[in-house]
Amino acid sequence: MNDNELMIAIKQGDQSAFRQLYDRYYDYAVRVAAIVLRNQSSLALDAVQEAFIRLYRNAESFRDKQPFKPWFYTVLLNECKRIAAKHGKLIAIGDEALQAFEKGSLDQHRFEEYAELYEELQRLEEHNRIPIILKYIHDLKDQEIADTLGENLNTIKSRIFKAKQKLRQRLQTSFGGGEG
């Protein structure tokens, strides 16, 4: 079953459908939460658990024709923000969270090979970092990112453009490269 079919089944009380969706997205969600929270894995795990609880309890709010992934990431990002606010400030990501991110079977990139890029990504402001993560790590389209974050499409495009410029500039400086 695809994600939307699983959500329809969840709405009808099918717990095995929930388990399938949970298994499908759990590791992926942990990696997103770890990056967003820039935290040891414990707060990321809390955010993911709460996001799945909200997904199950609020399954009725899911519209069957909308794409699941942006809807789920909206729930997850809201949980990350709630937990970050509850715990005060966002702190630097730890080795455990990075390892959890690297082990992901859904990611095409192995971040151990891109440590400098990963570090610079973490230094971006949240309003630039999250759209970059959703676009390049989670393959969401610009419109899906805008919908997920509740922002204007042109705002998202601008943030992605500026984030890419900052990353490019910082990486060129780190590697002693020129403008090329």
Report the CATH number at residue 76: 1.10.1740.10
**Tokens in use for 3?**
């994600």
CA distance 153 to 158: 9
Question: Would you state the pLDDT for residue 88?
Answer: 65
Q: Are residues 98 and 54 in the same domain?
A: yes
Output the pTM of the full model. Answer: 0.59
Task: Write the CB contacts of 77 (distance below 8 Å, at least 6 apart in sequence).
Answer: 32, 36, 130, 148, 149
Any idea which of 39-43, 125-129, 162-166 has the lowest mean pLDDT? 39-43
Domain that holds residue 145: 109-180
Q: How sure is the predictor about 174, in pLDDT bands with cuts at 50, 70 and 90?
A: low
pLDDT at 101 over 50: no
Q: What is the mean pLDDT of residues 134-162?
A: 87
Question: Would you state the pLDDT for residue 105?
Answer: 37
Q: Which of 98, 143, 149, 101 is nearest to 127 (CA)?
A: 149
Q: How sure is the predictor about 106, in pLDDT bands with cuts at 50, 70 and 90?
A: very low
Question: Would you say 136 and 86 are in contact if contact means Cβ atoms under 8 Å apart?
Answer: no
Q: Are residues 94 and 11 in the same domain?
A: yes
Question: Would you state the pLDDT for residue 91?
Answer: 40
Q: What is the CATH number of the domain that holds 120?
A: 1.10.10.10
Distances (CA, A) of 49 to 14, 26, 56, 135: 19, 9, 11, 23
Count of structural domains within the chain: 2
CA distance 70 to 32: 13
Domain boundary among 55, 75, 107: 107
CA distance 30 to 91: 16
Q: Are residues 92 and 139 in the same domain?
A: no
Q: How sure is the predictor about 39, in pLDDT bands with cuts at 50, 70 and 90?
A: low
